[in-house]
Amino acid sequence: MDINFNKNEDHNKLKLSDLKRRLAKVKLGGGKRRIEKHHAKGKLTARERMDYLLDEEAPSIEIGAFAGEDMYEEHGGCPSGGVVVKVGYVKGKQCVVVANDATVKAGAWFPITGKKNLRAQEISIENKLPIIYLVDSAGVYLPMQDEIFPDKEHFGRIFRNNAVMSSMGITQIAAVMGSCVAGGAYLPIMSDEALIVDKTGSIFLAGSYLVKAAIGESIDNETLGGATTHSEISGVTDYKAKDDKDALDKIKNIVDKIGNFDKAGFNRVEPKKPTEEPDDIFGILPASRSDQYDMVEIIKRLVDDSEFEQYKEGYGQTILTGYARIDGWAVGIVANQRKVVKTKKGEMQFGGVIYSDSADKATRFIANCNQKKIPLVFLQDVTGFMVGSKSEHGGIIKDGAKMVNAVSNSVVPKFTIVIGNSYGAGNYAMCGKAYDPRLIVAWPSAELAVMSGNSAAKVLLQIEKASLEKSGKPVDAEKEKQLFDEIKQRYDDQISPYYAAARLWTDAIINPLETRKWISMGIEAANHAPIEKKFNMGVLQV
Report the DSSP pairing between strands 83-90 and 61-63. Answer: antiparallel
Question: Does 278 fall in a domain?
Answer: yes
Contact assessment for residue 414 and residue 434, using Cβ atoms and an 8 Å cutoff: no
Q: Do 16 and 74 reside in the same domain of the chain?
A: no
Whether 83 and 183 share a structural domain: yes
Looking at the domain assignment, is residue 222 inside a domain?
Answer: yes
Is the separation of the CB atoms in 359 and 400 below 8 Å?
yes
Tell me, what's the pLDDT at 542? 53
186 and 309 inside one domain: no
Q: Indicate whether 294 and 434 sit together in one domain.
A: yes
pLDDT of residue 420: 96
Residue 541 lies in a domain: no
Which of 256, 278, 298 is the endpoint of a domain?
256
**Degrees, nearest 5: CA angle 415-420-426:** 70
- Please report how many Cα atoms fall inside a 13 Å half-sphere around the Cα of residue 496, on the Cβ side: 17
Domain tally, the chain: 3
User: What is the pLDDT at residue 393?
Assistant: 63
Per the structure, the complete domain to which residue 456 belongs is given by 452-495
Cα separation, 473 vs 205, whole angstroms: 60
Residue 82 belongs to some domain of the structure: yes
pLDDT digits (tens, 9 = 90+) for 398-444: 888 999 999 999 999 999 999 999 998 899 999 999 999 999 999 99
Give the residue ranges of the chain where pLDDT is below 50. Answer: none
73: which strand partners?
A: none
Q: Which residues of 466-496 are buried (b: 16+ CB within 10 A; e: fewer)?
A: eeeeeeeeebeeeeeeebbeebbeebbeebb
**Coil, strand or helix: which one is 100?**
strand
Q: Are residues 426 and 286 in the same domain?
A: yes
Pair 436, 384 in one domain: yes
* Dihedral angle computed from the Cα positions of residues 286, 291, 297 and 302, in that order, rounded to the nearest 10 degrees: 60
Tell me, what's the pLDDT at 509? Answer: 98
Show which of 202, 228, 256 is a domain's final residue: 256
What is the pTM for the complete model shown?
0.94
- Is 385 within 8 Å of 391 (Cβ atoms)? yes
**pLDDT value of residue 293:** 96
Q: Are residues 428 and 296 in the same domain?
A: yes
Q: Do 323 and 211 lie in a common domain?
A: no
Residue 396: CATH number of its domain: 3.90.226.10
Same domain (yes/no): 20, 74:
no
Query: 164-189: per-residue pLDDT in tens?
Result: 999 999 999 999 999 888 767 788 88
Query: Does 542 map to a domain?
Result: no
The CB density around residue 91, as the number of other CB atoms within 10 Å, is: 16
Residue 294 in any domain: the answer is yes
Q: Distance between CA 506 and CA 348 in Å, rounded?
A: 33
Whether residue 335 sits in one domain with residue 251 = no
Domain assignment present for residue 510? The answer is yes
464 and 437, same structural domain?
no
pLDDT at 290: 85
For residue range 222-263, what is the model confidence (pLDDT) as tens digits?
A: 888 889 999 999 999 999 999 999 999 999 999 999 999 999
Pick from 256, 284, 311: which residue ends a domain? 256
**Percent of the chain residues past pLDDT 90, beyond the cut:** 72
* Same structural domain, 241 and 306: no
Q: Which H or E run contains 62?
A: strand 61-63
**Residue 411 counted as domain residue:** yes
CA 420 to each of CA 295, 370, 481, 524: distance values in angstroms, whole numbers, following the listed order: 11, 26, 27, 26
Strand partners, 439: 415
Distance, in Å, from the CA atom of 343 to the CA atom of 348, rounded to the nearest integer, reads 6
